[in-house]
Amino acid sequence: MADDEAQPLQLRLTHEDYTKYCIYSPESSSSSQSGSSSSSSSSPSKCGLPSYDAIVRAFETTFPDFSLKSNIVEYHDGDGYVELQSGSEQMQIFYAHIEQNRSTAPRRGKVVLKSRRLAPEFLRKDAICVDAIVDAAVCLQEKLGKVLSMRLKVDCHSVLIITKPQDPTIVPLTRKVALWFLNNHSSDIYVNNQLRNNAEFDYSHLVSSNETRHAKDRLHFWTPEWVTSNYKSISLIVTMGGDGTVLFAAGLFQRSVPPVVSFHLGSLGFLTNFQFDEYPEALEQILSGPGKYTTFRQRLCCTLYRACRRNSSDDDTMPSKSLKCKRGEIRRATENGCSTCEQPPTGKPNFEAQVMNEIVLDRGASAGLLMLELYTDELHLTTIQADGLVIATATGSTAYSLSAGGSLVHPEKSAILITPVCAHTLTCRPMILPSRTRLRVCVSSNSRVPAWVSFDGRDRMELQKTDSVIITASRYPLLQIAHDDKRDDWFRSLVSNLSWNQRSQQKALI
Residues 418 and 429: their CA atoms lie apart, in Å, by 9
DSSP of 378-446, one letter per residue? Answer: TEEEEEEEEEEEEEE-SGGGGTHHHHTTPPP--TTS-EEEEEEEEESSTT---EEEETT--EEEEE-TT
- pLDDT, tens digit (0-9, with 9 covering 90-100), for 130-165: 877 787 788 778 878 888 888 888 888 899 999 998
Mean pLDDT of 168-191: 91
Q: What are phi and psi of 377, to 5 degrees?
A: 50, 40
Counting every residue written for the chain, the total comes to 510
Q: Give kind and range of the element (H or E) at residue 148.
A: helix 130-148
| Percent over 70 (pLDDT), the chain | 81
39 strand-pairing partners: none
Per-residue pLDDT at 467 exceeds 70: yes
Given a cut of 80, whether residue 211 has pLDDT beyond it is no
Residue 6 has pLDDT above 70, yes or no: no
pLDDT at 3 over 50: no
CB-CB contact of 375 with 276 (8 Å) = no
What is the pLDDT, as a whole number, of residue 2? Answer: 45
Provide the pLDDT for residue 44. Answer: 46
Query: How many beta carbons lie within 10 A of that of residue 330, not counting itself?
Result: 21
pTM greater than the 0.75 cutoff: no
Looking at residue 117, its pLDDT comes to: 80
pLDDT of residue 316: 42
Mean pLDDT over all residues of the chain? 82
